[in-house]
Each structure stands twice: as structure tokens, then as C-alpha cells.
Amino acid sequence: MKIDYADFEKVEMCVGRIIAVAEFPEARKPAYQLTIDFGETIGIKKSSAQITQVYTPESLLQRLVIAVVNFPPKQIAKFMSEVLVLGVANEQGHIKLLQISDDVVLGSRVY
């Protein structure tokens, strides 16, 4: 299915920094609870991410990530996920996070 550029512009993808990671044993599939700082305009948001096969909590702290910030919140077990962190499945089907290599202003939008 093709979309036009106006549809793409509706998706707000922004850069954030992971500032806290917690185990999420209540999730049906292994996941972490992430706390992500998107800067002053967007603020601090939470997300659930099924990335335990590839990342340790320590390896995620301070990592810059890209997330969709304008989806409605989603209840996952007793946790409210506010943003969708973006990634790509590797050959084993495990999710690798999209990231950028240089520091940018938190909350910067992806175009």
C-alpha cells in the first residue's frame, strides 16, 4: 500500500535518550520498560520494548533512540506504553533499535 507525503508527515518520529531501564516480568513476551527523555517540548515518556535478546539494561542506558511519539498510549499488562521505539528485526528475528551516531537535540524530529 502506498501513502502520500502528507500521510508520512502525520507520524511524529523523534530522538530521545534512554534514562532508565527496568525488567518487565508481567509482559507476555520478554521486554523492558524504558524511560526516555525527549527534551523540554515532549518531556519524559515510557515505552515497552521486546529487545531483551539483544540488549542488556546497562547497554541501553544513555542510548539515543528514535520513537513515534504521537500514537495513543497502549496498555501492556499493568504498564502504559506512551511511545513506540523503532527497530528492525535481524536475521534471528530479534529487534535491533534504530539509532543515530551523533548527539542531537532531544526531541528532534525525523524527516
Residue 68 belongs to domain with CATH number: 2.40.50.140
Whether residue 66 is predicted with pLDDT greater than 90 in this model: the reply is yes
pLDDT of the residue at 106? 95
How far is C-alpha 22 from the chain's CA centre? 14
Other C-beta atoms closer than 10 Å to the C-beta of 62 total: 10
Question: Helix, strand, or coil here: 20?
Answer: strand
pLDDT classification of 32: cutoffs 50, 70, 90: very high
Percent of the chain with pLDDT over 90: 94
What average pLDDT does the segment 60-72 reach? 97
Number of domains within the chain: 1
Whether 105 is in a domain gets the answer no
Whether 18 is in a domain gets the answer yes
For residue 82, give its domain range.
Answer: 14-97
Whether 109 is in a domain gets the answer no
pLDDT of the residue at 92? 94
Whether 5 is in a domain gets the answer no
pLDDT of the residue at 105? 94
What average pLDDT does the segment 41-45 reach? 98
Whether 108 is in a domain gets the answer no
